[in-house]
Structure 1
Amino acid sequence: MEYCVKKHFILVHGFGHGAWCWYRLVSLLKLAGQRVTALDLGACGVNTNTKRLNQIASISDYLQPLMDLLASLPPAEKVILVGHSYGGFMISLAMESFPHKILVAVFVTAYMPNHKDPPVTLMQQFFKRNSIDFFMDCRFIYDQENQPVSATFGPDFIATKVYQHCQPEDLELAKMLMRADGFFLEDMAKESLLTEEKYGSVDRVYIVCEEDEVMKEEFQRWLIENSPPKEVKSVVGADHMVMLSKPKELCLCLLQITEKYQ
Structure 2
Amino acid sequence: MSSITKPTVILVHGAWHGSWCWRFQIPALETLGYTVEAVDLPCGSGVAGTTQFDDAAHVRSVVESQTSMGKCVVVLAHSYAGPIASAAIKGLSEKGVLGMIALCAFIFPGGMDQGAVIRDIGGLPYVTWNMPSEGLFQTKDPRSLFFPPDVSADRADWAVSQLRPQSMAANMGIVPPQAWQDDSYIGRLGYIRCTADVVIPIEQQDGMVLGAGGQDKWVVRTLEGSGHSPFLSRPHEVAAALDEIVNAFETKV
Distance 2:43 2:116 in 1: 21
RMSD: 2.9
CA drift at 1:241: 0.4
Answering whether residue 246 of structure 2 is matched by residue 255 of structure 1, we say: no
Are residues 107 and 127 of structure 1, via their aligned partners in 2, closer, same or farther at CA, if it must alter by over 3 Å? farther
Aligned length: 238
Contact 2:108 2:175 (C-alpha < 8 Å) held by counterparts? no
Distance 1:245 1:35 in 2: 21
Deviations 1:105-147 (Å, cap 9, x if unpaired)? 10111011245xx24459827973x875x51xx31129xxxxx
Answering whether residue 136 of structure 2 is matched by residue 153 of structure 1, we say: no
Partner of 1:37: 37
CA drift at 1:208: 0.7
Aligned-partner SS, 2:207 = helix
Distance 1:237 1:195 in 2: 30
Selected match of 1:70 from 39, 42, 63 = 63
Partner of 1:17: 17
Are residues 206 and 248 of structure 1, via their aligned partners in 2, closer, same or farther at CA, if it must alter by over 3 Å? same
Partner of 1:27: 27
Answering whether residue 97 of structure 2 is matched by residue 102 of structure 1, we say: yes
TM-score under structure 1 normalisation? Answer: 0.79
Are residues 10 and 86 of structure 1, via their aligned partners in 2, closer, same or farther at CA, if it must alter by over 3 Å? same
Are residues 57 and 216 of structure 1, via their aligned partners in 2, closer, same or farther at CA, if it must alter by over 3 Å? closer
Structure 2: tracts of 5 or more residues without a match: none
Distance 1:234 1:140 in 2: 33
Letter in 1 for 2:178: L
Selected match of 2:195 from 210, 213, 229 = 210
Structure 1: tracts of 5 or more residues without a match: 45-50, 143-147
- Percent identity of equivalent pairs: 20
Are residues 112 and 210 of structure 1, via their aligned partners in 2, closer, same or farther at CA, if it must alter by over 3 Å? same
Instruction: Give the 5 Å matches for 1:202-241.
Output: 202=185, 203-228=188-213, 229-241=217-229
Distance 2:139 2:78 in 1: 16
Moved more, 217-226 or 252-261: 252-261
Contact 1:149 1:184 (C-alpha < 8 Å) held by counterparts? no
